[in-house]
């Protein structure tokens, strides 16, 4: 009998918004595009992707702020501004920002994407594959 994946807990900086997501991510990457850099205030956004219906906001739904539309948006805490996840791929997937997880996922980022527009002051030295844009399927 197959066991259900563990439920991972995540939350924003001020803890006003919390979510759960199963430890069943399909992929994980480090995105260096200028949008992810601006949204996180960091050199890149480490994220893991899973079908959109798998993530559940369990606290603070009324405090969420969304930037974008129903087909794609960034979901932030409206109190502290933390980027929790991004709805992508025409609303089919969420990219959970790994830094907002309280629990450790089993997946690790497999590559760096959009390094063609990475911050010039940041040096990649972890040995992961690097792609100028998106990796091939």
What is the CA angle 68-81-29, rounded to 5? 70
**Tens-place pLDDT, residues 87-106:** 999 999 999 999 999 999 99
Is residue 133 situated within a structural domain? no
Is residue 46 situated within a structural domain? yes
Is residue 97 situated within a structural domain? yes
DSSP E strands in the chain: the ranges are 7-11, 18-22, 27-31, 45-51, 56-59, 64-69, 72-77, 83-88, 93-97, 112-113
Torsion of CA 66, 95, 12, 75, to 10 degrees: 0
- What residue numbers bound the domain in which 71 lies? 7-117
Is residue 131 situated within a structural domain? no
pTM of the model: 0.93
**Tens-place pLDDT, residues 36-80:** 999 999 999 999 999 999 999 999 999 999 999 989 999 999 999
Please give the tally of structural domains in the chain. Answer: 1
The CATH number given to whatever domain includes residue 42 is 2.170.150.70
Name the band, by pLDDT with cuts 50, 70 and 90, for residue 121.
very high
Is residue 26 situated within a structural domain? yes
């Amino acid at each position: 009998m197959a066991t259900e994946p563990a439920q991972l807990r995540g939350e924003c900086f001020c803890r006003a918004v919390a979510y759960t997501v199963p430890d069943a991510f399909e992929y994980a990457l480090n995105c260096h595009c200028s949008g992810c850099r601006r949204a996180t205030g960091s050199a890149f956004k480490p994220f893991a992707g899973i079908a959109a219906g798998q993530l559940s906001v369990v606290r603070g739904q009324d405090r969420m702020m969304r930037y974008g539309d129903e087909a794609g948006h960034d979901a932030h805490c409206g109190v502290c501004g933390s980027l929790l996840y991004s709805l992508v791929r025409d609303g089919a997937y969420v990219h959970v920002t790994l830094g907002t997880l309280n629990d450790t996922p089993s997946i690790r980022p497999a590559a760096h994407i959009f390094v063609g527009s990475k911050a010039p002051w940041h040096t990649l030295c972890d040995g992961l594959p690097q792609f100028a844009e998106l990796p091939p399927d």
